Structure 1
Amino acid sequence: MVKTAIVTDTTAFLDQDMIKTFNVYEVPLSVIFDGKAYREGIDMTAAAFYEKLETEQALPTTSQPPVGAFVSLFEQLKEDGYTDVVSVHLSSKISGTYQTAMSAARMVEGLTVHGFDSEISSAPQAFFVQTAAEMVRDGADATHIIATLQQLKEKACAYFMVDDLNHLRRGGRLSGAQALIGGLLQIKPILHFEDGTIVPFEKVRTEKKALNRILSMLYADIDAGKVTRVAVIHANRPDRAEALKQEIEAYNKTLEIRTGYFSPVIGTHLGVGSLGIGWH
């Protein structure tokens, strides 16, 4: 009898209700401050991470899960009677997590692991996980699930607004001069995922204009009937994220809309104060 498990990583930042409802399995990535590693959601909460990020002088680094973490999980799933796994992960262009999961899959006999590179992360990645879990609940097989996720990938959108250009500078993504000029001009770059990589989309002056630009793209897709789920994602700005959620709900009350943090690993790249909206 076929029995399928759903596996993902902690950058999807699933809420506990979803994990319990759909019995999803997570493998944590880590952030490293001053040589000490903290596993997302286990050793450090998102709120604690952002508090620490604001006080640390050195930018933290990130680390993918060790292959042994996936091997142990896959072995346990096999012992629990699972025959198949759908393993959904953040973009392979920004982390080796997907490749590590696939390497672990080849080490475990008697279990078929179907990998899915979301080419994105955070809440849009969670959308894929939720869809896969719902399909398992409804009796779909892993091959059909992967095919459906591939179709959804073509429709997924996510745009991020970075609050502090100096954070991008510290991470090597902007020169000091660019950050200084951008800061003086109040430039709030809009970023998005393109071919699995975080790249600039537009440079906009002021946060309000940046968010209005993202909302205009969302509303255009809503009006075209292309949107069923929306997520507002934030780097330690829960009040602003909730306000954006309410603004979107006022525009369309039929959508499933949630708020959540950028996980610490993604927050390391974007910085405190960043905001994003994802939909599909």
Structure 2
Amino acid sequence: MNTQNNLGGAFTFPGTSITVKRMGYGAMQVAGPHVFGPPKDVNAALAVLREAVESGVNHIDTSDFYGPHITNQIIKQALHPYGKDLTIVTKVGARRGDDSSWIMDTSPEFLRQSVEDNLRNLSLDVLPIVNLRVGGVSAPSEASITEPLTVLAELQQQGLIQHIGLSNVSQKQFDEARPITKIVCVQNYYNVAHREDDGFLDRLNAEGVAYVPFFPLGGFTPLQSSTLDDAASALRTTPMVVALAWLLQRSSNMLLIPGTSSVAHLRENISAASLQLSQDISDKLNEMGHVSVI
């Protein structure tokens, strides 16, 4: 284990002046249960955000449909005015029902409203990076993304968005997007056990495009594996820290955004950036992508 944590080193989004530490923070859990309504303890939510930035994290992933609105409002309360090196990445393409359901919505009117809502609730004049969220809950579809992406490209031309990324997309959709606007990042479902994107990840790494895995620890069904348990025991850490460390070592374009509502858990996640996995452990974890995980 390293004695100094540099948060996994730095990554510069392609064609931009935006450089972030590879270990970031996902703000989904800042909201209440099921990412809906206010948190049980607002002060604890503020403390986690401030601790993240004080620890050197300069990449926060969020969305105005977390809450809805609440997560962005708490980010503003905790961190505004923002440090010049802090990059807040948001996403549009979904909204919440009154019953807390997730409703995919990429209509032009809603996308424009979503960008305006993010700007207002974060108190920003321009959004550094906006991801277009498409597809289902965790898997992409093959539907065309030209229409919604064109809307975001127009908002980019108007100066409301600096850069654009994609979330929950296939390689075909990535190729469809490139003539419309430059894509600086892809945010897809990926972790040590869920590896359908291996080839896509390697391609993006070769092209210098950031890959940001959502559900890096399994999401609402956390990873459980004897392989992770054994590695964690050998390294005297937790299985989740091992899973995050594997992701950082998997590819140099990998940017992590694990979320938590606990300062202690945040510190644990950050420790993954200083954990070095041996080749033997890495090989065993690599095999997890080829077997079922309970």
TM-score range, shorter chain: 0.3 to 0.5
TM-score, structure 2 as length reference: 0.33
Structure ranking higher in strand proportion: 1
TM-score w.r.t. length of structure 1: 0.34
